[in-house]
A and B are shown apart, each in its own frame.
Chain A
Amino acid sequence: MRIGIACPYSWDVPGGVQQHIRDLAETLIELGHEVSVIAPADDDRPLPAYVVPAGRAMPVPYNGSVARLAFGPLSANRVRRWLKDGAFDVLHVHEPAVPSLSLLACWVASGPIVATVHTAMRKSRWLLASQPVLRSALEKIDGRIAVSEAARTTFVQQLGGDAVLIPNGLATRRYRHAEPLDGWPGTGGAIGFLGRMDETRKGLPVLLQAFELLAPGRPGLRLLIGGNGDAEEHRDTLPAELRDRAVFLGEVSEEDKIRLLHSVDVFCSPNTGGESFGIVTAEAMAAGVAIVASDIPAFRDVLRDGQAGELFAAGDPAALASAAARLLDDPARCAELSAAALDAVAAYDWGIVARDVVSVYETVVLGRTPVGITE
């Protein structure tokens, strides 16, 4: 299929929507589709082959802050030319209610259009959408996708028409290989944690108490902790002689997060509740590290009831300590869990998610002429 994707935000600026489009486009290309993405970007910047720059985004006041968007007659002309050259079977716009390229693409295009809404929007934003010009552009959308329940609800309530819920995929490949951080994992065993330290439901205190139980019998065992929060406060809950063995990295970059997952022998998700999916745990699974996780429903689900990771009674440090000890002492068991985790996490991979998106494309193109330009 020939697919044209419109991105409203600058390609050079990091952001969730851009990341989503990048992952989706690359996966669709792997699946054998022809994909072209139009995005605001400088003409002289190096871009992936599938990205067509629509010129630099202009900073404008929007929604109470300054946003970098592409709009106006020049951008509209670029979109028109892109649509003409691309001769797409389907046009996929992201965040069509943001005044940028996606909305322009809806406006100038005719033919099958799919739209993905990423963020839930406040009412006032949609009131503007009652303007005839906007309404006529947005009414051309044939297939609607929402990445979350909240986005779906706003879509349905404000614009009418139901939306298919297709969550973000996980680019599992990106997590598979990484260099461990310098000096890790060492030989005495290392346990990792990722998450905001100050949120008790993330369970860091449970892990620290378990570490206190494990540490005396294992003089080389260390903890590697990444995430926002007051490191001092947590370090001080440990007995003085153990404090050097718990390393707090603070907030970590996306790259260091992946390196952290490759720097430890066992990754721990000690959450005491409140997770609906557990993205961090899924990322650890994709990295192929052995996982010990609390037995809350979200983890039970993603870890296939303990087949893809060791489960322990949520909130119980002694149970966590003995589960972690079992893994630290049994590399064969770790390898087994790692293989099972890689297998289980594949269900959340972009490859699967992109197939769902393609089904939406296939539905809207049925019996339609390809994408063209309205005169």
Chain B
Amino acid sequence: MTWTIIVLAVLVVVLWGFWVSWRASRLDRMHNRVEAARTALDLALVRRWSAAGDLASSGQLDPATSMLLADAVLRARQADPAERDLAESDLTRALRATLGDPDFRAELAAGDPSDPDGPEDSAELLTAVERAAQQVSIARMFYNDLAGRTLDARRRPLARVLHLSGRARQPEFFDMDDALVDGEG
């Protein structure tokens, strides 16, 4: 009788151990995925700086717009981590101000047929900015989704009591205005 109880108890402990280690490794995997998603988001933001910077220095914009855009890119690149979201949102607003006029956007998209050998094709520049902005939007959505799920998992009682997340950094949501067209998103 006593033996049966002992065997059962050992079995429970072993099973519980397996379960805890499974939860811990899942949490670890989630943290890794969050890190990867964050890297992807950072990369998307860098691509957007570069596309916006190319547009600013292309000579396709008037100098005032070009300067506003270059200023926003510079600020986003130099922002401290704590103010990154604000600086990136400002870059979005500067892009919106640059491309806000539908006629002008259409003119850029049409390229410059009179100068086919121009140093840079305005349509390509526009596409690069639009694609980079879209990637930022998608990468941010994926990252925030994973960050949210990881935060939920960290908040479970078991994870909290046993400190399953170890020294993994708590992910933070990245909130910013990333809609290139007013009213979108």
Measured CB to CB, the residues of A under 8 A from B are 58, 60-64, 69-76, 99-101, 103-104, 106-107, 124-125, 127-129, 131-134, 137
Contacts and interface: CB of A to CB of B under 8 A. Distances in A.
17 contacts: A60-B68, A61-B90, A61-B93, A62-B68, A69-B68, A71-B62, A71-B68, A72-B64, A72-B97, A75-B64, A99-B68, A100-B64, A103-B63, A131-B66, A131-B70, A134-B66, A137-B63
B35 to A, nearest CB: 30
A134 B56 CA distance: 11
B151 to A, nearest CB: 30
A20 B178 CA distance: 39
Contacts of A107: 62-64
Contact of B63 (A60, A124, A125, A133): A133
Contacts of B150: none
Contacts of A76: 62
B80 interface: no
A99 B67 contact: yes
Nearest to B86: A61
A72 B96 CA distance: 11
Contacts of B104: 72-73
Contacts of A73: 62, 101, 103-104, 107
Residue of A70, A72, A107, A124 with most partner-chain B CB within 10 A: A72
A99 B65 contact: yes
A99 B97 contact: no
A74 B66 contact: no
B63 A72 contact: no
B62 A72 contact: yes
Q: Chain B interface secondary structure, helix, strand, loop or mixed?
A: helix
B74 interface: yes
A63 B71 contact: yes
B72 A61 contact: yes
Interface in B64-104: 64-68, 70-72, 74-75, 90, 93-94, 97-98, 100-101, 103-104
Nearest to B65: A71
A291 B184 CA distance: 63
Contact of B64 (A99, A124, A127): A99
Given A60-B68, A99-B68, A132 B59 contact: yes
Residue of A71, A74, A127 with most partner-chain B CB within 10 A: A71
A62 B65 CA distance: 11
Contacts, number: 84
B127 interface: no
Contacts of B62: 71-73, 75-76, 104, 107
B21 interface: no
Given A72-B97, A72-B101, A133 B66 contact: yes
Interface of B: 56-57, 59, 61-68, 70-72, 74-75, 90, 93-94, 97-98, 100-101, 103-104, 107
A241 to B, nearest CB: 55
Nearest to B98: A72
A106 B66 CA distance: 14
A74 B64 contact: no
A55 to B, nearest CB: 11
Contact of A132 (B57, B64, B71): B57
B65 A131 contact: no
Contacts of B74: 124, 127-128
A104 B70 CA distance: 16
Contacts of A128: 67, 70-71, 74
Contacts of A133: 57, 59, 61, 63, 66
Contacts of A74: 101
B71 A62 contact: yes
Contacts of A75: 62, 64
Nearest to B66: A133
A131 B73 CA distance: 13
Nearest to A77: B62
A172 B18 CA distance: 88
A104 B104 CA distance: 16
Nearest to A61: B90
Contact of B67 (A58, A64, A101, A131): A131
Contacts of A60: 68, 93-94, 97
A103 B67 contact: yes
B105 to A, nearest CB: 10
Contacts of A131: 56-57, 63, 66-67, 70
Given A61-B72, A63-B71, A124-B74, A71 B64 contact: yes
A104 B63 contact: yes
B64 to A, nearest CB: 4
B28 to A, nearest CB: 39
Contacts of A70: 64
Closest 3 CB pairs of A and B: A71-B64, A61-B90, A99-B67
Given A62-B71, A131-B66, 8 more contacts: A71-B64, A100-B64, A103-B67, A131-B57, A132-B57, A132-B59, A133-B63, A134-B66
Contacts of B66: 99, 131, 133-134
A132 B59 CA distance: 8
